[in-house]
Structure 1
Amino acid sequence: MTDPVTDRLSRLVVAAAVVDSLAAPSAMLCAARSYPPEHAGRFELPGGKVEPGETPIRALARELAEELDLHVTLGAEVRPTLGLAVAAPKSSSGGGPREFPDDDAPAWPAMHGHRMRVWLAEPADASHGPRRSGAHESLRWTPWDDLEALPWLPADLPILAAVRAAAIPPVQNPTSS
């Protein structure tokens, strides 16, 4: 028997930090929600819920295609910090197939008790997409240095900081000759 409260609290959602270039990001695609009213106009990383039988990466590709008409090349997963990580649900005994395959990594805490996994990504075809749908009231490419000025959903703020840290290549110290 399943526990509806536990199932709801552990629901996996996926999102992408879509940057203009994985190699040298200078802007990120930011999406302002259309609904619910208490979150309208607040920015989030685009993505959505993983459906039963779907892997997180497949769900992310589906959600970005449905919501933004956007196909991406994935980069690294942005893992949650130790203090914020929400453990993956324990697999059910019995050895049967998992309802959510590959849902085995720690995730970020998200709204409504959901767990969220996030990947860096760039558009697969810079000439195609993204296109705004009903899920978002606006989409904008925001310069890297202006990201914190947007009104983000509170759950996305620590993720945004981790995205910025993960996406910036380390500075090389010049060597003297």
Structure 2
Amino acid sequence: MTDHDRVVVAGAVYDRGRLLAARRSAPAEVAGRWELPGGKQEPGERPEEALVRELREELGVEAEPVARIPGEWPLKPGYVLRVWTVRLLSGEPRPLEDHDALRWLAPDETDAVDWLDQDRPAVAEAARMLREGTMDAPVDGASEGLTGTP
């Protein structure tokens, strides 16, 4: 990431051992492909705050970022993707903005949808964590992504 890159946050939203996938409805070049839901971090907003806001806007849920998945992935020029594991607090996810379908996937089903390329590494890590039952645990090397106090 350069000093000029903007951050796009995404959530590996999980519930009952499953991962939430969201199918894009726009823009046309990505419509029909699947992603981890999220959006752009606004100036003055912490990444975790942006993720909570975006999930409220896109899915109509209240959620809590748990830990940042290590790594970041380039998007269009000037943007990078960062992903957090996210626990649902309340609400039933529904596609409100930029998506036309949602799907819960078990860890062994994550290859059943056509993920956007930049989401694939984080999805693979989230699926591994779900299989191992470590989704609620801090991710090694990603402590800056944790919320709350020790």
Which range, TM-score by smaller chain? 0.7 to 0.9
- Of 30, 41, 55, 1:64 maps to 55
- The residue that corresponds to 1:11 in the other structure is 6
Deviation sequence 1:116-158 (CA, Å, 0-9, x none):
2211112102xx2212113101111122211112101111111
**Pairing 1:1-177 to 2, within 5 Å after superposition:** 7=4, 10-21=5-16, 25=17, 27-80=18-71, 108-113=72-77, 114-125=79-90, 128-169=91-132
The answer to whether the 8 Å contact 1:78/1:166 transfers is no
Q: Within 1, Cα distance between the matches of 2:82 and 2:127?
A: 16
* 1:167 to 1:155, Cα distance in 2 relative to 1, 3 A: same
Q: Which has the larger radius of gyration?
A: 1
Contact 2:59 2:97 in 1 (8 A): no
**TM-fit CA distance, 1:72:** 1.1
Tell me how far apart the structure 2 counterparts of residues 170 and 43 of structure 1 sit (CA, whole Å).
24
* Aligned partner letter, 2:109: D
- The structure carrying a bigger strand percent of its residues is 2
What percent identity do the matched residue pairs reach?
A: 39
Q: 1:33 to 1:110 in 2, by over 3 A?
A: farther
Task: Please give the secondary structure, in 2, of the residue aligned with 1:112.
Answer: coil
Give unmatched runs, 5+ long, in structure 2.
Answer: 135-150
Q: Deviations over 1:2-51 (max 9, x none)?
A: xxx973xx110101000114xxx2x1111000111110010000000000
Residues paired across the two proteins, number: 132
TM-superposed deviation, 1:73: 2.6
C-alpha RMSD over aligned residues: 2.0
TM-score for both structures, normalised by structure 1: 0.68
- Offset at residue 169 of structure 1 (A): 2.8
Structure 1 segments of 4 or more deviating over 3 A? none
Is the CA contact 1:120–1:167 (under 8 Å) kept in the aligned structure 2? no
